[in-house]
Amino acid sequence: MAQSTNNMTQSSRQRQFFGTDGIRGRVGIWPITPEFVLKLGWAVGKVLARQGNGKVLIGKDTRISGYMFESVLESGLSAAGIDTHLLGPMPTPAIAYLTRTLRAQAGIVISASHNPYFDNGIKFFSAQGTKLADEIELAIEEQLEQVMTTVDSAALGKAIRVVDAPGRYIEFCKSTVSSDVTLNGLKIVVDCANGAAYHIAPNVFRELGADVYELGVEPNGLNINLNCGANHPETVKQAVLEQQADLGISLDGDGDRVVMVDHHGHILDGDDLLYIIAKHKASRGSLLGGVVGTVMSNLGLEKALQQLGLELVRVPVGDRYILRELMSRHWNLGGEPSGHIVCLGATSTGDGIVTALQVLAAMRCQRMPLAEIRVGIDKYPQVLVNVGTGQGQAGKSLESPGIKQAVAEVEAELGGRGRVLLRCSGTEPLIRIMVEGEDEQRVRTYANQLAQVLKSEIG
């Protein structure tokens, strides 16, 4: 296993607001407040205005607070003299795509992804449809320290609605697979998590010929990710078995991650999907180099790729690190167990619909069901436990002598036949504990032991 070292280091200047995926938190609790987001829109506008007066796209998922934050972002950008194009509810990768194709200066996504409705967040895309560079995020944070001003009335930004955004993105998704790939004869359950893809994903698969059974397509602002979507794959699993479907596709609230279910009801996570896509691309000579995973990628994936003669390079959790490593190596495939898969050449960011289409294309090309095309990867049992912390406490807790000793003891017990990883969540006040090994019961015991030690350390 190779591990990228240049991506493990943080910026020399600590960012106050931006995490691994923008700014996220509980609505109404600073900084996810109307006042802060208004000034954030202004700060972004001022930074962009120094690079030229282009337009900015704003899209959102379906949570109720999106209306409020859409309005204040538009106001802040207008005060800085920037025009906005409003997309309405759209998947995160759709906003990346439209930012690029509509030649916008930046795209803004109002979403908390897989989090509950009472959270929300703001994340950004560059003109190329990629995450903002660190120096731009730092410039925005510096601008936030300034007093908010308003440009002359004649220079205020305008706002318009982009009415054809869904149709544009549906056609793009279909274009990411060969024109001879059809889904005729397949019955597919599609769970949209009552999120941003509710009016997109079913139409993509249906227009390619599939018989689609829809779930999670009735958003009300409060039910996003609620017992549905990629965080709850048991929902689509049950529907696949009841409907006797060929497979199931489960997206998260903003549509950038996906898990799938085969006709037996077996759940395939991001590692499984990454293996299927890598194996298919390698067989066709279209895989460039190896595969980029993260510190969470299963040892079973690494060994399966080795059997194919492919290298797995690990980076920190977060698709910004995956993308950065792919671009530096000129590779074109990477992803996370959560279902964020980046297929460069087709997309510039993680895209749940496009990932599912890549898997379906491999199935159709090899004339195999999902259960058979997965053969070749045997994953190690991996147990994940989350321990809640107060804001700003997570990093300190990981440095405590007690938890370091507990981790060392578990690693000694595993004896090189497993892994332990503790990390701070980039999106929530949590410490995530991962233990991986050959015996599931032992792995679960170790993970719970570490969680108890951590809880006692936090107090």
Instruction: State the pLDDT at residue 400.
Output: 87
Contacts of 2 (CB under 8 A, 6+ apart): 311, 312, 313, 314
| Alpha-carbon torsion angle 59, 427, 24, 199, nearest 10 | 30
φ and ψ at residue 126, rounded to 5 degrees: -80, 180
d(CA 112, CA 28): 14
Q: What is the structure's pLDDT at 428?
A: 75
CATH fold for domain 9-163: Alpha-D-Glucose-1,6-Bisphosphate; Chain A, domain 3 (3.40.120)
Residue 13 has a CB neighbour count (10 Å cut-off) of 11
Contacting residues for 452 by C-beta, under 8 A, at least 6 apart: none
**The three-state (H, E, C) secondary structure of 352-417, written as one string:** HHHHHHHHHHHHHHHCCCHHHHCCCCCCCCEEEEEEECCCCCHHHHHCCHHHHHHHHHHHHHHCCC
Alpha carbons 275 and 290: distance in angstroms, whole number: 11
Residue at 401: amino acid letter: P
In this chain, the answer to whether the domains covering 9-163 and 181-267 adopt an identical fold is yes
Cα–chain center distance at 111: 11
CB 415 within 8 A of CB 408: no
Residue 255 contacts residue 219 (beta carbons within 8 Å): no
Report CA Rg, the chain. Answer: 22
Contacts of 331 (CB under 8 A, 6+ apart): 288, 289, 290, 291, 292, 325, 344
Three state DSSP letters for 239-271: HHHHHCCCEEEEECCCCCCEEEEECCCCEECHH
- Going from N- to C-terminal start, the domains of the chain cover 9-163, 181-267, 269-350+363-379, 382-458
- CA dist 218 and 230 (Å) reads 16
Residue 9 is predicted with a pLDDT of 37
Assign a CATH topology to domain 269-350+363-379.
Alpha-D-Glucose-1,6-Bisphosphate; Chain A, domain 3 (3.40.120)
| Active centre residues (catalytic) | 113
Strand pairing category for 2-3 and 312-315: parallel
How many angstroms separate the CA atoms of 165 and 172, rounded? Answer: 11
β-pair partners for 292: 313, 334
Q: CATH assignment of 382-458? A: 3.30.310.50
* Tens-digit pLDDT string for the chain (459 aa): 444 434 433 343 567 888 778 899 999 999 999 999 999 999 999 999 998 778 999 999 999 999 999 999 999 999 999 999 999 999 999 999 999 999 999 999 999 999 999 999 999 999 999 988 889 999 999 999 999 999 999 999 999 999 999 999 999 999 999 999 999 999 999 999 999 999 999 999 999 999 999 999 999 999 999 999 999 999 999 999 999 999 999 999 999 999 999 999 999 999 999 999 999 999 999 999 999 999 999 999 999 999 999 999 999 988 889 999 999 999 999 999 999 999 998 999 999 999 999 999 999 999 999 999 999 999 999 999 999 887 666 667 788 899 999 999 999 999 888 999 999 887 778 899 999 999 999 999 999 999 999 998 887
How much is the pLDDT for 10?
Answer: 39
In 3D space, the residue among 48, 56, 90 whose CA is nearest the CA of residue 73 turns out to be 56
Best CATH choice for the domain 181-267 from the list 3.40.120.10, 3.20.20.70, 3.40.980.10, 1.10.3720.10: 3.40.120.10
Euclidean distance between CA atoms 427 and 19, whole angstroms: 7
For 244, how many CA atoms within 13 A lie in the half-sphere containing its CB?
1
